[in-house]
Structure 1
Amino acid sequence: MEGRGLHPSSAPFHNAGRDHINAPGGIANKSDGSGNHLPGATFHGPVSFGAPLKDRDVDEATTRYSEKAACLRSLGFRDIDTRLHDITAAHRGTCDWLFSTTQFQKWRDRADLSAHNGVLWIKGKPGAGKSTLMKHALRHCEELFGDYLIVAHFFNARGEVLEKTPLGILRSIIYQLLDKDDTLYERFRPIYEKQRMFKEGEWAWPRAQLEDFVRSIINKRLSKPLLLLVDALDECDERSVRDVVGFLESLSIDAVQAGITLRICLSSRHYPNVSMRKTLELTVEANEEHERDIATYVEEKLEGHDNEIKAKVRKKAGGIFMWVVIVVSLLKKAYDDGRLEAMREVLEEVPTDLEDVFNRLLSRDDPDKAETIRMLQWVLLSRRPLKPEELFFAVLAGTAPEYSGLWDRSKITGHTIQRRITALSKGLIEARTGDTASVQFIHLSVSDFLFRNKRLQTLDPTLHPDPISASHGHLWDHCWSDIKQQDTTSTSGQYMKLLSDSYPFLLYAASYIFDHAEKALSGGAMQEKIIQWLQMGNDWFEWWKIFLSTVDSHREHSYLEDNMDTGLLYVLSLRGFPKLVTVVLAEGGADVNAQGGEYSNALQAASYEGHAEIVRQLLERGADVNVQGGRYGNALQAASIGGHAEIVRQLLERGADVNVQGGRYGNALQAASYQGHAEIVRQLLERGADVNAQGGYYGNALQAASYQGSAKIVRQLLERGADVSAQGGYYGNTLQAASYQGSAEIVQQLLERGADINTQGGVFGNALQAASYQGSVEIVRQLLERGADVSAQGGYFANVLQAASVGGSVEIVQQLLERGADVNAQGGYFGNALQAASYQGSVEIVRQLLERGADVNTQGGFFGNALQAASDGGRAEIVRQLLERGADVNTQGGYPGNALQAASYRGRAEIVWQLLERGADINAQGGHYGNALQAASTGGHAEIVRQLLERGVDVNAQGGLFSNTLQAASIGGYAEIVWQLLERGVDVNAQGGHYGNALQAASYRGRAEIVRQLLERGADVNAQGGYFGNALQAASARGHAEIVRQLLERGVDVNVQGGYFGNALQAASYEGYAEIVRQLLKRGAEHNADVHGPGRGKEVSAETVLENRAKCLALRTYVSLHLSWLWIAAA
């Protein structure tokens, strides 16, 4: 099914709408299903029934771009290409040897294809330089295969989860393919739409679904040949390596069989021992040219040094480039220290094995060894890659007794931090580039070294016997050290944000303290301390929730928004920390049935998230399995919607009521049916679930399964006696749900079971209207053959012909007309079929309707008439048809007022010209923008404004949302239009509208150039009125210092009273704009002027206001160090 986005949670006529619908003029409001809201005005905006829901304030090209961007965002992930950028580029004069090898040339020419299936596999020892070679190969291939689709993925064991998993490479591959090829995007879009439509809440791409899509494009002829380059296969776990290799091998075989040109280039270590049956294999360190690369590097880096030293470096390297890089660094350090003789000693002592080099570097006696170990532990075990400053302060948190965590940037610079990291890590940790800088080991082999043979324990014997758990214990302790020193009584949002800026490690500490505590409870010296921590009072926990919900810019802790009233047990159950839950239940005396939060209780939260072990613990501690409340009503429904069959089994065995009602889906059976969890449906039915229970969003389980499109579950439910004619739910009945979903198989099943084809109700009124809107030709045919009433009225579109006209299927419209559908039937969102088709843009459907006698001037619907709908939608050919058929060019009505105003706002210059040529009244009043000139000015369409002005439009006409054209253009920041209007004699001081006048509007929006124009043309700088009373207060409230300066230079009254804040000083002080406060005070603003607005009752002395603000925001020394300038500014 290629869904149109009319999902219950995104449909424009549903009260759970989640899409933003912009008010004309660009004022965005959250839709609650009833329309868009502005102060003093309520209106209902039209919607474009594409997928996803289109914003009326962007044209179709922009909307398509936005849709594609949303799809790509669902596939992409942070750092998707960071590893590629981190890899050092090939040293000058190296790596080109690859392209002369027999293996590469066979791969390039596809010679002897049956022997290798287009796969080149580059293998090498750890540190041999494979990734640098692959990056060089990628750049070469981009030049060599310029007409190819080239996709590259560089695995990264040190990165985020998706950088090192099969799911990550699939998302990366598809992201790149869709980004580069619109045809592939169009193929993928229905998959994305269905996924978005049917998945509850936050959803993730299933791996199997993405694999199927990649296979499908290999089995169909592509527009271009495809080259896939994958580096560092070994940087995911062994099972994942086998999965990825197996998948890539199957692609290579499929491509050869299908005659598709697919080249695959892989790189990995020799281990794990995974292979393909057919491949070209090349070993890096065995190639003589690779040895020459090493020689080139050594020669350049040690230029001027003893040739004997260079020769010995080359000989000891054994083909391992990473060894050479480290040893050359050690040699140069010895030289830089002035110890020329030491170079030979270093070279003599340095081991030939890379791991032995690491061991030598880290095993030296060093007064900073404790810090070195902590730094290694952090980079090895942190939950996400740390920023350099986070790592610096994380280490201090656990090793410096005087640690405060406060970052004095004047003393600790980025350069200082980087030098300290390099020194403590002995050069084994580096900063990676990307959207945000982070630290990582210089090579995966460093991680391998630390994990293997308990090397951490060797470095620090106190980590015995479980170095990993013990290390997590230390990391937890570092996190707690940063948190416990905070003032938990100060919880304002601004204070929390300042804390995050001032304490660079604090956000990580708060984000992952539970993760490290959970892992530390497996063993280590910190266990008792963690248990005591969990038994402490709630002050730190309440502070923790407020802090994370305030400063979490990446939305990683967005779950807290709906769970601020919950306790520690709930959060631990929701997030999945079974060991911590055990402690809290056993030692902390937590109330297992405490109510609160999005899921009402810990049991429902754990059930929804699929934490089976936590569910078991909660049940054993007496959790009420049937307690009601929360998003899903009860734990059983939560587990059912989540698809957690094992938890469903646990709950049922503990006496969960299988038929209890409540929650979003009414009952567990409807929840499982909606999500397509056939195994859970089977369990529930066997436990006596009422197959016909009514309630919930879809009315009953059968309607939910029909909407979801699961023929298997529909069959299960029908075999258990589901009532095929049951009424209720969003779609009214099961047949309508299935017809909208587009499953001909389910529709057939329902009809064979006696579903009433003409039953009325639900969002579409009947099944035929649902199928007609959705464009399901086969289902429409089925329904018509079974006697569906083509003239039935009801539903959002009032009749099937209007629904089909919106849907855009010429074939369905033709079928309906042949069956006698009334071409002039009235009602519904668009009023009639002609208006719907005119807006939708189908020239052929409009032609059919007109030939069948559609009344071209019928009034009604959102746009008032077909001409206005076509003008708004930019359908120039349809406008021409309608005008030739006698459409009245000056008919008034509908949201935009008339066709000329609709076209002017949308920027449809060609249509504006057509309408004017046909006699459109250029000064006609009415509609949302009052007249065509204001509409064009609001939209920023200078060319249309020019047309209208040349035709003699009244430049000073009043009315509409912005009262006059000049204010509309000023708000939008359209300087050219403002200039045109001023040249035509517009009244620069015209009053009215939300902002009173154009000057106040431009000042509020920060349009400095327009403010300058208006002032030069005589705008009254002291004009009163509007929301802010005057222009100075408007500019001050928004922090536009340059505009404030302009107004002050023009003699504005700095103490004029009125407006929302009372005066400009009060506005700037309340909003915290110190520079503007300084300007106003210098110009004589009175400290104790009367207060109005939100600051009533507060001191308005700038010094006092800013002092109080500083106290709210500042921290101890931070105030004196960083905010003292505010006092000076206000003095």
Structure 2
Amino acid sequence: MATTSIGSASQNDSASRKPQDMGDLWELAYKRLKSGKETEDLVKDYEAFLLQKYLLSTRPDDPPPTTQMVQVVVGQLTEKRDERKWEFNLLGMKVKVREHTEKLLRFLAWADTIVKDAISTQPYAALAWSAVTMLIPLAQNEMGKHEKMIEGFAVINDIQLYWKVGQETYFQASKESTSQQLVDALVEVYSNIFKYQITAILHLAKSQFKRAFAALSLDWADQAEAIRALSKRCSDKMPLAQHLQNQHNAEVLQKQIDASVDILGKILESLRPDRTETRKYEEDSAKSELLRDLIPKPEDEKDKSNYESDKNFNPQRLKDTCEWLLQDKLDRFQNWRDRMDPALLLVYAGPGCGKSVLSRCLIDEGLLSTRPIASTTCYFFFKDGLSNRNNGASAMAAILHQLFSHDPSGELIKIALPYHKTWGQSLAKNLDQLWQIFLECVKSPEAGHVVCVLDALDECTQDSDKLVDKIKQFCCEQQVADERRVKFFITCRPYDHILDSLEFPPNDDLSTSFRVDESSDDIRRDIDRVIDHQIHFSDVGKRLSSSDKDLVSQKLISMENRTYLSKIDKSLISSLPSSVWDAYEEILSRNQDEEQTELLLRIVLAAERPLTLDEANYALTLASAEPQGFASHDELMQDLWSADSISSVIQNLCGLFISVYDRKLYFIHQTAESFLVDPKPERKWKGRFSHGSAHETLGLCCVRYLNLMRGIRTENVAGREWKPSHFIDYCAANWISYFISLGEPSTLVRKEARKVWGTPDELCKWWIPNWRSHNKSAANGDFWRKAPDLTLVSYFGLLPLVCDILGETDTDLKHVSPIGTPLQAAVAQGHDRVVKFLLDKGADANLGGGLWSTLLIAASSEGHANVVRTLLMKKHGVNINVRDGFSSALDHALRRANMKLVDCFLKERDDCDITEDTVLAAFQSPQATQAIKALLEYRRDAIRITENVISGAEDFGSEALELLLREVPHTLEINDRVVQNLFESFDANIVRLVFELRPGDIEITDSLLEAAAGSYAGVSTLKWLLDEHGEKVNVTEDVVISAAENKVHGYDLFAVLWEKRRGQVKLTDSVVRAAQGNEWWGAQILELARS
């Protein structure tokens, strides 16, 4: 195949154009490169590549004229770019590579129009601006291997942008006065840009261009820097004012490119779901187990609820809605989105204003960041009443799960592995540890930009204050932008306690509040659009005539308090209410069976999670039975509604008040629950219910169902095709919490609950294994098989049943089962009321047996502070031998950093010993300083700083030891081993402090210098010793060997000796051998010494 030069046409091609024209300068640059001795072959190879790659359909032996050829090549590039969509797989790409890649894509999207306009008039300029188009398909699957090359392209694009602005302003305005020197310099810049582009493209294409390439450097950073320097020298030839104006215009243009929604959309197109895989880590059991534990499987396999489905439960926004934020006239959203440092945007409004719809649209449409490739959006939608959605720990677990799953580098999850190894499955419930992991992750260079969306923060009812404090503290730290590029987007209702907690100092711009006025024209327009959409596209709306649609529209739009919650119902046309409360009354008043409607509302109100249609079918059928219930499970099955009809039954009973989504039942909105339990009852339905009555209804359904399951014959369940209903799992998991929440349950509930306890086989078969699968603190093994009823009901904390059983017969309170006596079982599970009752009934608190050696150890091991307090108080614990196991229990609480328990131990009893092990346990605590403070506050006089305490402190930091030394220095035990340990294991702060507090007890010797030279705590102690007491010590061979052998700080320690005592540092054979044995620092040490 013949190769034709793209610059081989007549030199008169450009004679009619002035050399200041942009196209001509690029053409001159290309021809200069082609005529150069060192680059001539490079350009020929490039042209051969272009002909082969893009002009296969032409006749290579008879090519078109040069200008036409370039036009064809650039046209082909444009078409291929439009076809390919620049699809990427980000797995394995580091953040820096992603950032540079994103910048290239942004540049390419913006330059699209420029290239198309320049094809006919400025073909060589178009060719230069199309280089990225050639680069992308060549490198898209290997971006990570070409980081420096990609970074160089980003630098070149900045230079192209600057000179495009310059040519459009200064050059065009000063054609006659533009100096030839400036023109020649700019042509040189363009020529080197061509050279960089051509070299990179041929390198990626793996073309055979040995003639040219052998002599060229592939140091991309050096080449890019050289081009930057040429550009700088070129700009120096312009007037300073013009240079500054060009620079400003280029920066403005770059900001416009970054903020362009159209360009962002094109980039998002390149990241289609089938290309942006998420990491499953299936090949690594530790990592996959961590991900599973962060987002545990739902209790019911039908319950697919997770953070993504929780988001998608909210409807998508309609076109032109939510613009009140996206097009905010004050640019609050845009400013928050575009800033690099930690910041918070709080959007607060009343119910029904579309906050959750807004959150979903920002996430789904990629509007939270202008850097989609180099950023990760994590989110969590809170929901009050759902145990896995109403707390900060669940939110942070979901956010970490998303960070790990969408991290292309695969590095972030490694940060969490040590935490998971320590905490196991409980990590997902530990907000403090999860937050610490989050902090470490966002410090990592692989985190990139992180945006956290927390929707409906007001529905975080468990630990919202704690979560808010952490977010606020994080933002206030004002870390350097490159260290923590994290922003928070939060929505909530305008509750004062949340708004106050998120309030920042007056002059601080870290937080931006966006209050949504429910009565504003923008919100009303959004709501009207939603209403109009429902009228035309909802199931009910489609059945309305045109006149009815107009009537419903007028009625709904005229409502004073219309919201996103407004629903279309033809039966409401004649009497549409003017408030949400009235709407609820109207909906419920049209029920077809008031008694069953009330039962269904009680069931949904009491549900621990959204019930499935099948579960609701069982519950409603059981609740509707006569007081005595069903005689058998078969009888219940015959009375159930069919699976096809239960949905319509629910709709007939409650209308739109209860909605069915993904076959699960939900209230129309969280305000519906507030309406039912309102403390000020009005009319028929408002305030008609209480949580207690609802719990009794559903709790009774649960225990009745468990009792029915006990009656099923074994032969009936032997077949593999028979499976119990999913309702058995819900009943087993929740009936006990319902019973306990009632306090004093009714006689009927107590009677039914008493029947639940049957033979061990019946317990094993139906509910205890199910209950244990939802309670990680449950005892292992078949603990129930040899436990009498009294022990079991004590274990589960069912005080009314404990009372009933003790009243039935002379029950043996001393019976020891695998889980101990009834008292031991109650203590281990933290049931304080049962513990007090049994103690008052004469239970022996000092009886051995069971899982724990003493009651105190049993209570403290699971962190039951209330039970510990009960055992330590004289009122109930007068006969308890608290000394037996006190130290072990206190030590355990200290090591687990349960400061609530620690305070309880130390405050309630001052007659128990504080041992050396107790102080060591405090040092081993994750909150060692707080633990030492507690010991000092309550038992200062009992603390001793022994040799073992010093040894124990070295592994857990020195802050707590420093506190102890300052508070009780007289208790410090000083001997040669202690002093040696101090100099070998602690930094200068500790050593200096001990020396100041006990100066007469320490003799500075060469052996201490040797210990400091071998220190694993750094070089500070060695420096202090040489600076402050250098006249007392000599650098012996042993001292030098100690530094040379140190695998942690060996080089730094040796360097200190070399700097301060070079004359005494001898490179003996023993020193050389010591250094050679140090695989970490030996070579550097020897190089320093021999220099």
**What TM-score do you get using the length of structure 1 for normalisation?**
0.52
User: Residue 486 and residue 93 in structure 1: after superposition, are their counterparts in 2 closer, same or farther (change >3 A)?
Assistant: same
Write the mapping of 1:1048-1127 to structure 2, written as runs, cut at 5 A. Answer: none
Identity among equivalent pairs (%): 19
Equivalent in the alignment of 1:443? 669
Equivalent in the alignment of 1:280? 514
Tell me the SS of whatever aligns to 1:149: strand
CA deviations 1:924-962 (Å, max 9, x no partner) are xxxxxxxxxxxxxxxxxxxxxxxxxxxxxxxxxxxxxxx
Are 1:491 and 1:547, in contact at CA under 8 Å, matched by a contact in 2?
Answer: no
Tell me the SS of whatever aligns to 1:425: helix
Question: 1: distance between equivalents of 2:308 and 2:440?
Answer: 28
Equivalent in the alignment of 1:473? 696
CA deviations 1:229-269 (Å, max 9, x no partner) are 222233344x9666666665555555599897654433334
- What is the Cα deviation at residue 570 of structure 1? 3.8
Equivalent in the alignment of 2:380? 153
- What is the Cα deviation at residue 119 of structure 1? 1.8
Question: 1: distance between equivalents of 2:643 and 2:836?
Answer: 48
Are 1:645 and 1:680, in contact at CA under 8 Å, matched by a contact in 2?
Answer: no
Equivalent in the alignment of 2:535? 298
Question: 2: distance between equivalents of 1:735 and 1:201?
Answer: 33
Of residues 507, 524, 532, the one that matches 2:729 is 507
Are 1:156 and 1:235, in contact at CA under 8 Å, matched by a contact in 2?
Answer: yes
Write the mapping of 1:480-499 to structure 2, written as runs, cut at 5 A. Answer: 480-487=703-710
Equivalent in the alignment of 2:816? 595
Is 1:632–2:852 an aligned residue pair? yes
Of residues 607, 612, 617, the one that matches 2:832 is 612
User: Residue 492 and residue 384 in structure 1: after superposition, are their counterparts in 2 closer, same or farther (change >3 A)?
Assistant: farther
Are 1:672 and 1:681, in contact at CA under 8 Å, matched by a contact in 2?
Answer: no
Question: 2: distance between equivalents of 1:703 and 1:649?
Answer: 23
Write the mapping of 1:87-102 to structure 2, written as runs, cut at 5 A. Answer: 87-90=313-316, 92-93=318-319, 95=321, 97-98=323-324, 100-102=326-328
| Uncovered stretches (5+) of structure 1, i.e. residues with no partner | 1-60, 332-344, 694-699, 727-732, 760-765, 792-803, 825-832, 852-1131
| Uncovered stretches (5+) of structure 2, i.e. residues with no partner | 1-279, 299-304, 504-511, 995-1005, 1015-1042, 1058-1064
Is 1:394–2:626 an aligned residue pair? no
Tell me the SS of whatever aligns to 1:559: coil
Tell me the SS of whatever aligns to 2:569: helix
Question: 1: distance between equivalents of 2:379 and 2:931?
Answer: 40
Aligned AA for 1:626?
Answer: N
Question: 2: distance between equivalents of 1:270 and 1:519?
Answer: 30
Of residues 353, 357, 361, the one that matches 2:579 is 353
User: Residue 574 and residue 320 in structure 1: after superposition, are their counterparts in 2 closer, same or farther (change >3 A)?
Assistant: farther
CA deviations 1:1034-1068 (Å, max 9, x no partner) are xxxxxxxxxxxxxxxxxxxxxxxxxxxxxxxxxxx
Question: 1: distance between equivalents of 2:418 and 2:670?
Answer: 38
Question: 1: distance between equivalents of 2:770 and 2:606?
Answer: 23
Are 2:702 and 2:735, in contact at CA under 8 Å, matched by a contact in 1?
Answer: yes
Equivalent in the alignment of 2:391? 165
Are 1:87 and 1:131, in contact at CA under 8 Å, matched by a contact in 2?
Answer: no
Equivalent in the alignment of 2:598? 373
Write the mapping of 1:663-1062 to structure 2, written as runs, cut at 5 A. Answer: 667-677=888-898, 679-680=902-903, 683=906, 687-692=910-915, 700-708=917-925, 710-711=928-929, 713=931, 716=935, 720=941, 737-741=952-956, 746=961, 753-754=972-973, 785=1008, 809=1048, 811=1050, 844=1080
- What is the Cα deviation at residue 514 of structure 1? 2.2
Question: 2: distance between equivalents of 1:319 and 1:134?
Answer: 27
Aligned AA for 2:724?
Answer: S
- What is the Cα deviation at residue 91 of structure 1? 5.6
- What is the Cα deviation at residue 171 of structure 1? 3.5
User: Residue 591 and residue 385 in structure 1: after superposition, are their counterparts in 2 closer, same or farther (change >3 A)?
Assistant: farther
Aligned AA for 1:228?
Answer: C
Of residues 269, 289, 306, the one that matches 2:525 is 289
Is 1:384–2:609 an aligned residue pair? yes
Question: 2: distance between equivalents of 1:144 and 1:244?
Answer: 23
Are 1:393 and 1:405, in contact at CA under 8 Å, matched by a contact in 2?
Answer: no
Are 2:534 and 2:567, in contact at CA under 8 Å, matched by a contact in 1?
Answer: no
Question: 2: distance between equivalents of 1:496 and 1:370?
Answer: 39
Question: 1: distance between equivalents of 2:1010 and 2:661?
Answer: 67
Tell me the SS of whatever aligns to 2:453: strand
Equivalent in the alignment of 2:63? none
Equivalent in the alignment of 1:313? 552
Aligned AA for 1:628?
Answer: G
- What is the Cα deviation at residue 194 of structure 1? 5.8
Question: 2: distance between equivalents of 1:390 and 1:812?
Answer: 68
Tell me the SS of whatever aligns to 2:693: helix
- What is the Cα deviation at residue 483 of structure 1? 2.0
Of residues 165, 176, 185, the one that matches 2:402 is 176
- What is the Cα deviation at residue 217 of structure 1? 7.8
Are 1:93 and 1:293, in contact at CA under 8 Å, matched by a contact in 2?
Answer: no
Are 2:591 and 2:655, in contact at CA under 8 Å, matched by a contact in 1?
Answer: no
- What is the Cα deviation at residue 205 of structure 1? 4.4
User: Residue 847 and residue 658 in structure 1: after superposition, are their counterparts in 2 closer, same or farther (change >3 A)?
Assistant: farther
Question: 2: distance between equivalents of 1:503 and 1:591?
Answer: 37
User: Residue 667 and residue 558 in structure 1: after superposition, are their counterparts in 2 closer, same or farther (change >3 A)?
Assistant: closer
Question: 2: distance between equivalents of 1:784 and 1:429?
Answer: 79
Aligned AA for 2:922?
Answer: A
Tell me the SS of whatever aligns to 1:313: helix
Tell me the SS of whatever aligns to 1:162: coil
CA deviations 1:651-707 (Å, max 9, x no partner) are 232236566556xx97334333433456448628953323449xxxxxx43443343
Tell me the SS of whatever aligns to 2:491: strand
User: Residue 175 and residue 201 in structure 1: after superposition, are their counterparts in 2 closer, same or farther (change >3 A)?
Assistant: closer
Are 1:757 and 1:787, in contact at CA under 8 Å, matched by a contact in 2?
Answer: no
CA deviations 1:520-540 (Å, max 9, x no partner) are 4546xxx11233345559426
Tell me the SS of whatever aligns to 1:426: helix
Equivalent in the alignment of 2:74? none
Aligned AA for 1:425?
Answer: C
Point out the structure with max Rg over C-alpha: 2
CA deviations 1:1097-1129 (Å, max 9, x no partner) are xxxxxxxxxxxxxxxxxxxxxxxxxxxxxxxxx
Are 1:155 and 1:235, in contact at CA under 8 Å, matched by a contact in 2?
Answer: yes
Tell me the SS of whatever aligns to 2:846: coil
- What is the Cα deviation at residue 347 of structure 1? 0.2
Tell me the SS of whatever aligns to 1:614: helix
TM-align CA RMSD: 5.9
User: Residue 203 and residue 493 in structure 1: after superposition, are their counterparts in 2 closer, same or farther (change >3 A)?
Assistant: farther
CA deviations 1:287-335 (Å, max 9, x no partner) are 253123433442444468544433433333359899788876532xxxx
Equivalent in the alignment of 2:415? 189
Question: 2: distance between equivalents of 1:84 and 1:252?
Answer: 27
Are 1:121 and 1:267, in contact at CA under 8 Å, matched by a contact in 2?
Answer: yes
Are 2:919 and 2:949, in contact at CA under 8 Å, matched by a contact in 1?
Answer: yes
CA deviations 1:138-162 (Å, max 9, x no partner) are 223357531433222211124x223
Equivalent in the alignment of 1:135? 360
Are 1:378 and 1:475, in contact at CA under 8 Å, matched by a contact in 2?
Answer: yes
- What is the Cα deviation at residue 67 of structure 1? 4.2
CA deviations 1:985-1022 (Å, max 9, x no partner) are xxxxxxxxxxxxxxxxxxxxxxxxxxxxxxxxxxxxxx
Are 1:142 and 1:150, in contact at CA under 8 Å, matched by a contact in 2?
Answer: no
Is 1:516–2:738 an aligned residue pair? yes
Of residues 453, 462, 472, the one that matches 1:229 is 453
- What is the Cα deviation at residue 348 of structure 1? 1.0
CA deviations 1:604-651 (Å, max 9, x no partner) are 444444443333222212222222233431112233444555533432
- What is the Cα deviation at residue 362 of structure 1? 1.9
Tell me the SS of whatever aligns to 1:121: strand
- How many residues align? The count is 717
Are 1:122 and 1:283, in contact at CA under 8 Å, matched by a contact in 2?
Answer: no
Question: 1: distance between equivalents of 2:554 and 2:378?
Answer: 37
